Amino acid sequence: MAINLLFTCAGRRNYLINYFKEAIKGQGRIFAADMSDTAPAMVDAHVALIVPGIYDDTYIDALKSIVKAHHITAIISLNDLELPILSKHKTDLESTGVKVIISSETVIDIAFDKMKTFDFITSIGLKTPDTYTTLDSAKSAISKGLLNYPLVVKPRWGSASIGIDFPETEAELDLAFQLQHIKLKKSILNTASQDDLDNAILIQEKMNGQEYGLDIVNDLDGNYFGTFVRKKLNMRSGETDKAVSVIDERFEELGKIVSENLKHVGNLDCDVFVANNKLYLLELNPRFGGGYPFSHEAGVNTCSIYIEWLKGNTDVSQFNNYEAGKLFSKCDRMLEIKSTSQA
């Protein structure tokens, strides 16, 4: 049986395209779809496909047509903003016979709405930074000594890496909060935030400590597989740029708690701060994240594991050889883009 994988919103995730190309080893083909024919990941896929934007009324029908025309086995999304859309239409898409590797609408909603993330984390007994959605509530907490500067001000819905400020005074907080609302209305997060624009910006406790990235992996039925940890040594444009692999029972325990309560499907990219020897969980991103290459290169081949699971195989132990102390750094490379829209 051929395994043909479609990556939607492929963007710049060339490393993931290439990891899956290597893993599939002639058993099928890797398809990359994006609304832009200059998306870098399109270059490395076996087949590149142009699709409408994710908010276009014809988007789901376009994906269904691709699935039927190219006998796609599974769809994997690489974009936060697309996750709620694919999850909502999962049953419709899977009526074509494709497997959509995505978590339930409930899981996506918890991860996409950072206040629901906060509520979920606290409900399962884990620590997370204090979070507020209004200036009044945040200032009240500050006056009571429950919240201290510096703070984090960021969008509530979608990609937290878009527009983050770190105010250190009340004047800066007022300006940052106002500016975030202005920037939000101009950004791609505007559509995602329409439900409650008045509470669309978060004010959060800024953690002082060591930051870690986690890949908490469940199988395609939501059962726990493993937690793979990297200590972040350097960040660039909101993504991990340099990191070293870590094996620590504390993170394994946290990963199991999240997995068993969230029941997500596949890879869950998370951020954790260790402050005062306590673990604080910040983000839940139910997809492959920018930190996945560090897990992959340290010995867990989640790409091959996905393919085995799609084939119905449950013994994937040969693809988990994770080692601690593996230090890696990202670097740029140049790609020639053969765009059909060049002047």
Bridge partners of 232, per DSSP, are: 243
pLDDT of residue 196: 57
Q: Spell out the domain ranges in the chain.
A: 5-102, 130-205, 210-329
Q: Do 5-102 and 210-329 have matching folds? A: no
pLDDT tens digits for 119-165?
A: 999 999 999 999 999 999 999 999 999 999 999 998 888 664 557 89
CATH number of 5-102: 3.40.50.20
Burial category of 86 from C-beta neighbours within 10 Å (exposed 0-12, middle 13-18, buried 19 and up)? buried
pLDDT of residue 335: 82
> 105 to each of 3, 79, 87, 90, 245, how far by Cα in Å?
26, 15, 5, 9, 31
pLDDT tens digits for 8-53?
A: 999 989 999 999 999 998 899 999 999 999 999 999 999 999 999 9
User: Which residues of the chain are modeled with pLDDT < 70?
Assistant: 158-162, 187-197, 237-238, 339-343
pLDDT of residue 193: 46
pLDDT of residue 195: 56
CATH number of 130-205: 3.30.1490.20
Question: What is the CATH T-level fold of the domain 210-329, as seen in this structure?
Answer: D-amino Acid Aminotransferase; Chain A, domain 1 (3.30.470)
pLDDT of residue 341: 55
Chain position carrying tokens 């996945």: 292
Q: Are 44 and 18 in contact (CB under 8 A)?
A: yes
